[in-house]
Chains A and B, each alone.
Chain A
Amino acid sequence: MLAYLVRRLGQNLVTLFLIVTLAFFLVQAQPGDYTSVYAQDPKLTPEVRAQIQADFGLDKPLGEQYLLHLRNSFTGNFGISFGHYPRTVMSVIVERAPRTAVLFLTATVISFYIGFVQGKTLAWRRGGPLEVSMTVSGAVLSTVFTPWYALMMIWLFAFQMGWFPLGKFLDPLLWREAHVNADYVFNRMLLTGGAFMGFVMLVILASRWTERSGFRARFLPGLPVLTWWVPAVLVGALVAVVAWSFSGVGHLAWDIVKHMVLPIFTLTSISFAGTMLLTRNSMLETLREDFVTAARAKGLPERAVRDKHAARNALLPVVTSLVYSLAFAIDGSVIIESIFSWPGLGLTLLQAVRGQDLPLVMAAFVFIGIFALTAHLVADLLYAYLDPRIRYS
């Protein structure tokens, strides 16, 4: 297990190194000179220009520039953004990255869950109109032209129904009188979300422990099995809502939440289909395994055969290929951000590309890469946890 994780971590670090290298050489290979862009920008003072010269070794030979670039990348010094002058690239990234993280993570987790449950059901009830309609709508949703679909969603739910704001991260009118800035509220929202997840996980782990150790059987024989997560979610949500409503910035947080719903829903609905179709295939193959027949022969209820044995094993290849689909999901969030004007890394990348803000382009790209790699690592961890053949080797 440990060896597996160390190897995976190592591979990801090498990949990160390659991404950083790629970023450098892409800039070098582009027609026109990075240096001249810097030199000609009228907003830069001579001192700043000198600083950049020194930091990036722009007058030095290519090899030395590359080494400096590596050092700068790993210390987070990406220079100064042209578009957001005089902010450093890093400060822009630090502000934007969590916003992408929330969008991407929430959508990925929800869409994975829904896709898995749907795919499982499709394979279980093979044939029939449900399968055809779900396969077709799944294929359409996963290949739908994302901007078009997102605009339709905005038009329908925000414009026509007026349920959600049209886009953006927050409502400026509301925030004008606020004594705190958006990052302050948003970071606390992130913390709340993390604490909530942690709490639910702990309760689930605890319920598992009481099962396995026989604690429940001995002391609480009347209690139903393994449904603890339901009250845990309810209690956690209640505590969070109460705490926020007394915090004084609850309405601001609510504003951000309102802006979050539609992009997350849109992103979820386009990415669940991939998982669904994959789960269906994986499940169809698993259903042919002997241990599924054996589970049935043992007289287990069909539900247990499906969920405990077939779906549990079908999950493994789905998680493996989750690694491949993560890059796709990140691209999806880039598009969604640009359409919903959600100020995350994707929108930052696009604006930087349009404004020829090369330092920011590179940094946004590297951080999108870091995102992808971190997500991969998590998927690898999950896989190792799910498959005892890796866990115990």
Chain B
Amino acid sequence: MIRQPDLQPSDPSYETGGGPGGKPVGIRAARIRLALRGLRESWSIFVESKIGVIGLAVIAVFALMAISHPVLMATIWDEATYDPVTGYAFDQTEQPAPPSWKHPLGTDPLGRDVLSQLLSSTSSEFILGIVAAVVTVTIATTIGAVAAYYGGIADTLIMRLADLVVSLPSLSLLIVLSALFELNLFMLAILIGVLGGFGGSAIIFKSQALGVTVKPYIEAARVAGGGRFHIILVHIIPNLLPLSFLYMMFAVTGAIFSEAILSYLGLLNIRMSWGIMIHTANTAGYLLGGAKYWWLIVPAGASITLLCSTFYLVGRALDEVANPRLRRR
């Protein structure tokens, strides 16, 4: 008997695919066609909620900002003046200086260009967010699938652990951790990812995976002699992918937010970030100057808020795609 690992009789693509005599290639093509059609349909639902599209556009703008910093540094900005950390605007007599042509967003109390700081931080925010999101989703998907498929003691342990992590105020825990260890950006991303992955998302992914494990094609795969690892990898995890994508968005929001708070509190060992920009302004006592020194706080604060809420909104728009019950019709 020839085993065709990714083709099971009750797999949906089998029926719509190349027909009973279809070769695996035809079926694979049919699968891809089906997936493409699904994508197109999802996209049209996604587009319908304007919020999601606006969100994507905002993310694109931030991505452009992230790219523009190294370009500007290499072309029109000299390092002595514009380096986000070590630069000093000798052309200004008073620091912080208000916005001018040379410094569109002014300078900070230490004479550094605010726009340069803002742009240079963007890429680290993206890296942080994406690393944390990937770690979260990888962990949550894996242990969710394992808990759902194996059940029993594995399930109990994973779920109790998730309950524990969920009931911990994670930011407070991060504050404690930062007291005990020197945290850099990468460690922070991993930590946030781990906390997220073993916590709330694990619970959600498990219940989603549970819905998949009772589907007949899983049983069929088992009967056909598919190994457990194989079944989890080939049949369960792919079904969790849409949800993963959705949760990545929320994870990005959480990660950027946590980093900004910890930086603001001055607890992280990071070169530059939006949170640190506000921290600098705060420790130098410019925050309650309010509107007078707006360029010290508004660009960074607005960037954090905007990027966080954008990822969040995109997540919500994806939620409407993944959860038909929320759709209008």
Contacts and interface: CB of A to CB of B under 8 A. Distances in A.
Question: Do A and B associate with each other?
Answer: yes
Interface of A: 11-12, 14-15, 18-19, 23, 26-27, 29-31, 126-127, 132, 135-136, 139-140, 142-149, 151, 154-155, 159-160, 166, 277, 281, 284-285, 288, 323-324, 326-328, 330-331, 334-335, 338, 346, 349-350, 352-353, 356, 358, 361-362, 365, 368-369, 372-373, 376
Given A142-B312, A143-B308, A372 B169 contact: yes
Given A143-B308, A284-B325, A376-B167, A356 B179 contact: yes
A143 B302 CA distance: 11
Interface of B (DSSP majority class): helix
Interface in B281-329: 282, 287-288, 290, 297, 300-301, 304-305, 308-309, 312-313, 316, 319, 325-326, 328
Contact of B166 (A145, A151, A327, A334): A327
B175 A285 contact: no
B200 A324 contact: yes
B182 to A, nearest CB: 8
A333 B261 CA distance: 13
A135 B51 contact: yes
B257 A145 contact: yes
B199 to A, nearest CB: 9
Nearest to A32: B180
Given A160-B290, A285-B326, A353-B267, A147 B171 contact: no
Interface of A (DSSP majority class): helix
Given A147-B278, A369-B167, 5 more contacts: A139-B309, A288-B325, A323-B167, A331-B169, A350-B175
Given A126-B328, A151-B287, A155-B288, A143 B172 contact: no
Interface residues of B, number: 49
A313 to B, nearest CB: 14
A198 to B, nearest CB: 27
Contacts, number: 144
B19 to A, nearest CB: 37
A14 B326 contact: no
Contacts of B313: 135-136, 139
B170 interface: yes
A320 B173 CA distance: 23
27 contacts: A23-B176, A26-B176, A29-B180, A30-B181, A135-B51, A136-B313, A139-B313, A140-B305, A143-B305, A145-B260, A145-B261, A145-B305, A148-B300, A148-B305, A155-B288, A159-B288, A166-B288, A323-B166, A326-B167, A327-B166, A331-B170, A334-B172, A334-B175, A335-B171, A350-B265, A353-B176, A353-B179
B51 A132 contact: yes
B62 interface: no
A27 B326 contact: no
Interface of B: 50-51, 160, 163-164, 166-173, 175-181, 200, 253, 257, 260-261, 264-265, 267, 274-275, 278, 282, 287-288, 290, 297, 300-301, 304-305, 308-309, 312-313, 316, 319, 325-326, 328
B257 A26 contact: no
A327 B167 contact: yes
Contacts of B50: 132
B278 A139 contact: no
B33 to A, nearest CB: 32
B164 to A, nearest CB: 5
A139 B163 CA distance: 26
B312 A139 contact: yes
Contacts of B173: 365
Q: Which of B170, B175, B308 has the most CB of A within 10 A?
A: B175
Contacts of B253: 143
Given A331-B171, A335-B261, A154 B288 contact: yes
Contacts of B309: 136, 139-140, 142-144
A143 B312 contact: yes
Contact of B316 (A277, A346, A356, A368): A277
B260 A30 contact: no
Nearest to A365: B176
Nearest to A357: B179
A26 B267 CA distance: 17
A334 B265 CA distance: 11
A358 B181 CA distance: 12
Nearest to A338: B265
A362 B179 CA distance: 10
A388 to B, nearest CB: 23
A148 B304 contact: yes
Given A15-B164, A139-B309, A353-B179, A146 B172 contact: no
Contacts of B312: 139, 142-143
B39 to A, nearest CB: 24
B175 A139 contact: no
Contacts of A126: 328
